[in-house]
């Protein structure tokens, strides 16, 4: 039976629309996956030597053990937002004569074959091999390695519960927030006992039983949970919570744009995919940390200009590149209704500009790195509002990929909104700020560079009407193609 | 109100719709019947400028629909679920459509009041998003939304499908009343010959993209249609 399931899964995979897209995209996806794998392998090998170099009097395993709790916590959060659970697919199996337990085992087994479970393997395996090469006890290292894998799978199954069971979700979320607050205010640190815990697991190889039992237990809980609800109105049903009509009257002050703005706000807060984008754009805020903290980049202001643009541009870029696509599910309605297209576009644009402003306010802590850096972020924000917003909107029209709003994007199978045109459009977004900053910087000085970047954005804002008109024309021209593309079966 | 001239639509060399001449006068309730693939939805999509004609054109109140957008303010439609915004509650959806058609919240509320019976307490105050309503209830919301703002032309594709019997009867009543009391031009497609003969003054039969019958509805129409389809 399992064999037949696997063959069905393979058909589902190889016949799905994203797989039948261009070869170029497939190659890019494989390259991206290889990149992450290579990074993980590299980190796995490099971690030992890196730690040894930086903290010569510490044991690398202990250092890893002290921090591995953060790895698992991050893993959990990212999974919660990114990992797509294969739940709805069991519906066709409910009425044909297959044992329920077989279907459930298969379903749970399927979640195991996820990129999220393999990535840690590529880190912990090379790290363990390096340990063995340095004469660490074979038994300890092997047991530790399996412990890490079992923990990873435990997170995997826990994530399943988190997604399906509100009670579990609230309990875990409360615990995490409480731990985070306690840590933040220095009342109690979970890092130390966690480090102690993981070190104990390393030192006592038989302790591998703890994660193993944890994993089995979570698997059993999942199994029971699904078994109990293996009905149409049970585990596989989409959750319908009570919702309330939200008037959002405070948005009326935006005049003609208001009806669209209201819808956009509701769309973002009520659908999984846009929520994911919101979460991702929050992460963009920390992008600067990579660049500003490293000495090497201090001498390369072009890179800093690029990073500064990214800090405030996360939402703008990830939301904006899918602009008509967000409305793909009801695009025919918009196209046949009495809609001033310009207001529709302007609403999306306003949303992006507001997001840049909010990101900018949130980025004030970067003042810590000096006023130069903060000036750059401010100039980057202006560039984002005045130019990047229009470039992104323009790229969106050429995109034409339907988006399923209430379905999370799958990690690594998400080619939605990704095509060669998109890459081309990305070029001015990335190199624009670099060039606008770098040329005056080279010719005159740092301040002029910043001013030029800021002025370019202000100019864009001054010509807002012109740009919106141009984009509107492209939208009108592409109308039929877009409608046809959006009504294709997903 | 609506006039069609030499209209055709081809896909990869196959003609799916070819109507040389068709005039629908103002205030008529017009029914379109035909088997699957006859071109009903294609015709409505062309009328709403959702696809481009291969040749010819449709005029809606003397406006060529694929050249100007001026027909949009007085035309409304419900073709399928892609005309609903799934993440809105029914009220929010009605208010949104209302705003697009120049009706404020109070107008929309007053308008919805007339249709309380039709909604049967299953649409308003449901604490549910439209995407979580049943197919039939989604349809009810979509049809009523298409009536907001006194449109002069209303286009409904298969409005009776998925509705329960009581609602079908109520919908027929609504359409008849609109036809009698206002000058609204109503275009309906249906697979249900009984319903369509009951509410439409004129019925056109499409077959493989061409009009094969154009009947002013009378007592004998249902029999004539049944005889035609029972081939």
Place of tokens 């309330």: A244
Q: How confident is the model at residue A414 (pLDDT cuts 50, 70, 90)?
A: very low
Mean pLDDT in residue range B19-48 = 92
- Kindly state whether B107 is in contact with chain A, defined as any CB-CB distance less than 8 angstroms: no
Tokens of B101: 């058609």
Mean pLDDT in residue range A118-133 = 87
Mean pLDDT in residue range A221-237 = 72
- Kindly state whether B88 is in contact with chain A, defined as any CB-CB distance less than 8 angstroms: yes
Cβ-proximal residues to A240 (8 Å cutoff; 6+ apart), any chain = B128, B129, B132
In the prediction, which pLDDT does B16 show? 92
Q: How confident is the model at residue A18 (pLDDT cuts 50, 70, 90)?
A: low
pLDDT at A254 over 90: no
In the prediction, which pLDDT does A411 show? 45
In the prediction, which pLDDT does B79 show? 92
Minimum distance, in Å, between the CA of residue A110 and any CA atom of chain B:
28
Q: B127 and A484 in contact by Cβ < 8 A? A: no
Contacts of B134 in chain A (CB under 8 A): none
In the prediction, which pLDDT does A13 show? 66
- Rounded CA separation A313/A379 (Å): 12
Q: A266 and B92 in contact by Cβ < 8 A? A: yes
Contacts of A480 in chain B (CB under 8 A): 50-52
What radius of gyration, in Å, describes the C-alpha atoms of chain A? 25
Instruction: Determine the residue of chain A that is closest to B104 in CA distance.
Output: A259
- Rounded CA separation B62/B75 (Å): 13
Mean pLDDT in residue range A392-399 = 82
Mean pLDDT in residue range B128-133 = 89
Reported residue count of chain A is: 490
The CA distances from residue A413 to A18, A28, A30, A478, B188, in Å, are 7, 12, 10, 27, 41
Mean pLDDT in residue range A86-107 = 74
Exposure pattern of A411-437 as b/e (b: 16+ CB <10 Å)? Answer: beebbbbbbeebeebeebbeebbbbbb
Mean pLDDT in residue range A474-487 = 86
Q: How confident is the model at residue A22 (pLDDT cuts 50, 70, 90)?
A: low
pLDDT in tens, A276-329: 888 888 888 888 887 887 777 777 777 888 888 888 888 888 888 888 888 988
In the prediction, which pLDDT does A86 show? 59
- Which of A237, A244, A245 to mutate to probe the B interface, most B CBs <10 Å? A245
- Kindly state whether B49 is in contact with chain A, defined as any CB-CB distance less than 8 angstroms: yes
Name the residue ranges covered by the structural domains of chain A: 2-236, 249-487
- Kindly state whether B41 is in contact with chain A, defined as any CB-CB distance less than 8 angstroms: no
Instruction: Determine the residue of chain A that is closest to B149 in CA distance.
Output: A338
pLDDT in tens, A325-341: 889 889 999 888 888 78
Element (H, E) at A311: helix A301-320
Tokens of A39: 């990074």
- Kindly state whether B52 is in contact with chain A, defined as any CB-CB distance less than 8 angstroms: yes
- Kindly state whether A331 is in contact with chain B, defined as any CB-CB distance less than 8 angstroms: yes
Cβ-proximal residues to A417 (8 Å cutoff; 6+ apart), any chain = A321, A322, A325, A399, A401, A403
- In whole angstroms, what separates CA A473 from the centre of its chain? 32
- Which residues pair with residue B75 across a beta bridge? B153
pLDDT at A20 over 70: no
Using DSSP's 3-state secondary structure scheme, residue A340 falls into: coil
Q: How confident is the model at residue A416 (pLDDT cuts 50, 70, 90)?
A: very low
Handedness of CA A124, A126, A129, A133 (dihedral sign): negative
Across the interface, of A242, A245, A483, the residue whose CB is closest to B50 is: A483
Q: A335 and B101 in contact by Cβ < 8 A? A: no
Q: Are B112 and B100 in contact (CB under 8 A)?
A: no
In the prediction, which pLDDT does B160 show? 93
Cβ-proximal residues to A211 (8 Å cutoff; 6+ apart), any chain = A146, A147, A148, A150, A151, A154, A201
In the prediction, which pLDDT does B30 show? 94
**How many helices (H) and strands (E) in chain B?**
8, 10
| % chain B with pLDDT above 90 | 72
Lowest mean pLDDT among A57-71, A398-412, B88-102, B110-124: A398-412
Contacts of B75 in chain A (CB under 8 A): 336
- In whole angstroms, what separates CA B88 from the centre of its chain? 22
Q: B82 and A245 in contact by Cβ < 8 A? A: no
- Rounded CA separation A238/A403 (Å): 18
Q: A266 and B87 in contact by Cβ < 8 A? A: yes
Mean pLDDT in residue range A20-49 = 76
Element (H, E) at B168: helix B165-181
Nearest Cα to Cα of residue B38 among B212, B188, B218: B212
Place of tokens 């930086």: A54
- Kindly state whether A266 is in contact with chain B, defined as any CB-CB distance less than 8 angstroms: yes
Q: CB neighbours (10 Å) of residue A441?
A: 19
Contacts of A405 in chain B (CB under 8 A): 86-87
Q: Are A378 and A311 in contact (CB under 8 A)?
A: no
Nearest Cα to Cα of residue B145 among B124, B163, B168: B124
Lowest mean pLDDT among A143-147, A162-166, A393-397: A162-166
Mean pLDDT in residue range A75-102 = 73
Minimum distance, in Å, between the CA of residue A226 and any CA atom of chain B:
22
Q: Are A456 and A449 in contact (CB under 8 A)?
A: no
Q: B51 and A244 in contact by Cβ < 8 A? A: no
Q: Of A59-68, A92-101, A165-174, which has the strongest mean pLDDT?
A: A59-68
Mean pLDDT in residue range A357-373 = 89
pLDDT at A146 over 80: yes
Nearest Cα to Cα of residue B39 among B8, B11, B17: B17
Return mean pLDDT, chain A.
81
Element (H, E) at B64: strand B63-64
- Kindly state whether A32 is in contact with chain B, defined as any CB-CB distance less than 8 angstroms: no
Instruction: Determine the residue of chain B that is closest to A247 in CA distance.
Output: B92
Cβ-proximal residues to A309 (8 Å cutoff; 6+ apart), any chain = A380, A383, A384, A388, A433
Lowest mean pLDDT among A431-440, B51-60, B79-88, B173-182: A431-440
Mean pLDDT in residue range A396-415 = 67
| % chain A with pLDDT above 70 | 88
Higher per-residue confidence, A58 vs B12 = B12
In the prediction, which pLDDT does A16 show? 59
pLDDT at A482 over 90: no
ipTM associated with this complex: 0.90
Q: A329 and B86 in contact by Cβ < 8 A? A: yes
Residue A187, CB-side half-sphere exposure with 13 Å CA sphere: 6
DSSP state, B51? S
- Rounded CA separation B143/B147 (Å): 7
Higher per-residue confidence, B46 vs A20 = B46
- Rounded CA separation B118/B164 (Å): 11
Minimum distance, in Å, between the CA of residue B96 and any CA atom of chain A:
6
Residue B59: φ, ψ to 5°:
-105, 130
pLDDT at B229 over 80: yes
- Kindly state whether B128 is in contact with chain A, defined as any CB-CB distance less than 8 angstroms: yes
pLDDT at B157 over 80: yes
Q: Of A28-32, A238-242, A312-316, B152-156, which has the strongest mean pLDDT?
A: B152-156
pLDDT at B125 over 60: yes
Using DSSP's 3-state secondary structure scheme, residue B214 falls into: strand
pLDDT at A412 over 50: no
- Rounded CA separation B153/B63 (Å): 13
Higher per-residue confidence, A165 vs A153 = A153
Cβ-proximal residues to A368 (8 Å cutoff; 6+ apart), any chain = none
DSSP state, B227? H
Contacts of A406 in chain B (CB under 8 A): 86-87, 131
- Which residues pair with residue B17 across a beta bridge? B9
Place of tokens 């479970």: A117
Residue A412 backbone zone (phi > 0: left; psi -120 to 50: alpha; other: beta): left
In the prediction, which pLDDT does A413 show? 43
Q: A243 and B129 in contact by Cβ < 8 A? A: yes
Instruction: Determine the residue of chain A that is closest to B129 in CA distance.
Output: A243
Across the interface, of B84, B91, B129, the residue whose CB is closest to A270 is: B129
In the prediction, which pLDDT does A36 show? 80
Mean pLDDT in residue range A355-372 = 89
In the prediction, which pLDDT does B84 show? 93
- Which residues pair with residue A211 across a beta bridge? none
- Rounded CA separation A227/A237 (Å): 14
Q: What torsion, rounded to 10 degrees, do the Cα atoms B52, B57, B62, B64 define?
A: 30
Q: Which of residues 270-289 of A touch B (CB under 8 A)?
A: 270-271
Cβ-proximal residues to A313 (8 Å cutoff; 6+ apart), any chain = A284, A356, A359, A380, A384, A388
Mean pLDDT in residue range B159-181 = 92
In the prediction, which pLDDT does A417 show? 45
């Amino acid at each position: 039976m399992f064999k037949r399931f696997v063959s069905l899964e393979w058909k589902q995979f190889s016949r799905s629309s994203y797989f039948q897209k261009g070869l170029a995209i497939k190659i890019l996806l494989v390259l991206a996956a290889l990149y992450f794998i290579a990074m993980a392998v590299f980190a796995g090998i490099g971690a030992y030597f890196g730690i040894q170099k930086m903290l010569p009097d510490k044991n690398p395993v202990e250092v890893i053990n002290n921090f591995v709790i953060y790895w698992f916590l991050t893993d959990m959060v990212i999974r919660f937002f990114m990992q797509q659970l294969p739940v709805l697919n069991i519906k066709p199996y409910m009425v044909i004569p297959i044992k329920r337990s077989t279907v459930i085992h298969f379903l749970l087994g399927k979640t195991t074959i996820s990129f999220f479970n393999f990535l840690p393997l590529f880190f912990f395996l090379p790290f363990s091999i390096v340990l063995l090469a340095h004469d660490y006890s074979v038994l300890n290292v092997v047991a530790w390695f399996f412990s890490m894998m079992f923990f990873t799978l435990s997170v995997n199954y826990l994530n399943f519960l988190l997604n399906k069971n509100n009670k579990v979700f609230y309990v875990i979320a409360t615990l995490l927030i409480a731990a985070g607050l306690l840590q933040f205010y220095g009342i109690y640190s979970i890092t130390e006992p966690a480090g102690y815990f993981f070190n104990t697991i390393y030192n006592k190889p038989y302790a591998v039983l703890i994660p193993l039992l944890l994993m089995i237990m979570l698997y059993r809980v999942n199994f029971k949970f699904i078994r109990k609800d293996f009905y149409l109105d049970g585990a596989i049903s989409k959750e319908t919570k009570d919702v309330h009509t939200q008037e959002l009257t405070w948005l009326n002050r935006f005049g003609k744009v208001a009806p669209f703005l209201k819808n956009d706000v509701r769309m973002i807060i009520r659908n999984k995919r846009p929520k994911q984008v919101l979460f991702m754009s929050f992460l963009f805020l920390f992008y600067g940390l990579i660049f500003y903290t490293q000495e090497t980049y201090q001498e390369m202001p072009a890179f800093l200009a690029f990073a500064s643009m990214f800090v405030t541009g996360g939402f703008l870029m990830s939301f904006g590149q899918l602009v008509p696509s967000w409305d793909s599910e009801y695009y025919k309605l918009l196209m046949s209704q009495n809609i001033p297209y310009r207001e529709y576009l302007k609403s999306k644009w306003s949303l992006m500009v507001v997001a840049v402003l909010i990101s900018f306010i949130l980025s004030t802590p970067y003042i810590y790195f000096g006023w130069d850096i903060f000036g750059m972020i401010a100039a980057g924000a202006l560039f984002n509002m005045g130019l990047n917003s229009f470039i992104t909107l323009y790229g969106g029209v050429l995109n034409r990929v339907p988006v399923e709003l209430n379905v999370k994007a799958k990690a690594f199978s998400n080619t939605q909104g990704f095509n060669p045109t998109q890459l081309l459009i990305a070029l001015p977004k990335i190199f624009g700020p670099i060039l606008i900053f770098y040329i005056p910087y080279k010719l005159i000085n740092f301040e002029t560079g910043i001013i030029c970047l800021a002025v370019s954005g202000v100019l864009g804002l001054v010509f807002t009407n012109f740009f919106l008109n141009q984009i509107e024309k492209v939208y009108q021209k592409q109308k039929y193609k877009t409608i046809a593309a959006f009504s294709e079966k997903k | 109100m609506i006039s069609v001239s030499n209209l055709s639509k081809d896909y990869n060399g196959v003609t799916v719709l070819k109507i040389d001449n068709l005039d629908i006068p103002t205030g008529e309730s017009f029914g379109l019947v035909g088997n699957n693939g006859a071109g009903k939805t294609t015709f409505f999509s062309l009328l709403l400028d959702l696809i481009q004609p291969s040749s010819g054109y449709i005029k809606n109140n003397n406006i060529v629909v694929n050249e100007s957008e001026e027909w949009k303010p007085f035309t409304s439609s419900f073709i399928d679920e892609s005309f609903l915004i799934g993440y809105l509650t029914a009220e929010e959806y009605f208010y949104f459509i209302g705003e697009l058609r120049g009706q404020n919240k109070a107008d929309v509320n007053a308008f919805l009041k007339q249709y309380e019976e039709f909604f049967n307490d299953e649409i308003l105050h449901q604490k549910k998003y439209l995407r979580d309503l049943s197919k039939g209830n989604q349809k009810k919301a979509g049809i009523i939304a298409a009536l907001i703002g006194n449109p002069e032309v209303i286009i409904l594709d298969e409005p009776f499908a998925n509705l329960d019997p009581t609602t079908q009867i109520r919908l027929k009543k609504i359409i008849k009343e609109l036809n009698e009391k206002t000058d609204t031009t109503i275009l309906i497609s249906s697979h249900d010959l009984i319903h369509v003969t009951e509410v439409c003054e004129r019925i056109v039969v499409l077959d493989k993209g061409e009009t094969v019958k154009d009947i002013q509805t009378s007592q004998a129409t249902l029999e004539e249609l049944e005889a035609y389809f029972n081939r």
